[in-house]
Chains A and B, each alone.
Chain A
Amino acid sequence: MKEVHLSDMKREYEQIPVPAELEFRVRASIQQAKLARKKERTVMTNVKRIIIGIGATAAAFMVGITGLANTNASIAHAMEQIPVLGAITRVVTFRNYDDDRGNTSAHIEVPQIEGGQEVSGLNDTIKAYTDTIIAQYEKDAAQQGTEGHYDLDLTYKVVTDNDKIFALRFDQTLIMASGNESVKIYDVDKETGKIISLSDLFNPDSDYISVLTQNIQQQMRDQMAADDSVYYWLDDEVEDWNFKELSPDATFYVNDKGELVIVFNEGDVAPMYMGVCEFTIPSSVTQSIAKPGYLG
Chain B
Amino acid sequence: MKSVKLQQVEKALLELYPSLYRLAYSYVHNPDDAMDIVQDSAYKAILRAEDVKKQETIKSWLCRIVVNTSLDALRTKRKESTGLENIPDAGKEDAYEDLDVLRALEGLDERERTVVTLRYFEDMKLSEIVNVTGENLSTVKSILYRSLKKLKVTLAEGESI
User: CA separation between A5 and B156, bound complex, in Å?
Assistant: 7
Summed over the interface, the residue pairs from A and B with CB atoms below 8 Å come to a total of 100
Contact flags (1/0) for A20-45 with B, using CB distance below 8 Å?
Answer: 01110111111011101100000000
Which residues of chain A are within 8 angstroms of B13 by Cβ–Cβ distance? Answer: 26, 30
Q: Are A13 and B153 CB-contacts (below 8 A) given A18-B21, A22-B35, A37-B47? A: no
Comparing B82-90, B97-105, B127-135, the segment that makes contact with chain A is B97-105
Which residues of chain A are within 8 angstroms of B39 by Cβ–Cβ distance? Answer: 25-26, 28-29
Q: Which of A87-136 contact B (CB under 8 A)?
A: none
Is A19 an interface residue, CB under 8 A from the partner?
yes
Q: Are B46 and A29 in contact (CB under 8 A)?
A: yes
Since A25-B38, A33-B44 are in contact, a sample of 17 more A-B pairs with Cβ atoms closer than 8 Å, ordered by chain A residue number, is: A3-B154, A6-B159, A9-B101, A13-B102, A13-B117, A13-B121, A14-B22, A16-B26, A16-B99, A16-B102, A18-B21, A19-B35, A23-B17, A29-B40, A29-B42, A36-B43, A37-B46
Hey, which bits of chain B sit against chain A, CB under 8 A?
Answer: 6, 10, 13-14, 17-18, 21-22, 25-26, 31, 35, 38-40, 42-47, 96, 99-102, 104, 117, 120-121, 151-156, 159
Can you list 30 A-B contacts with CB-CB less than 8 angstroms, sorted by A residue number? A7-B156, A7-B159, A9-B104, A9-B153, A12-B99, A13-B26, A13-B121, A14-B121, A15-B99, A16-B25, A16-B102, A17-B96, A18-B17, A18-B21, A21-B35, A22-B38, A23-B17, A25-B39, A28-B39, A29-B39, A29-B40, A29-B46, A30-B14, A30-B42, A32-B43, A33-B42, A33-B44, A33-B47, A34-B46, A36-B47
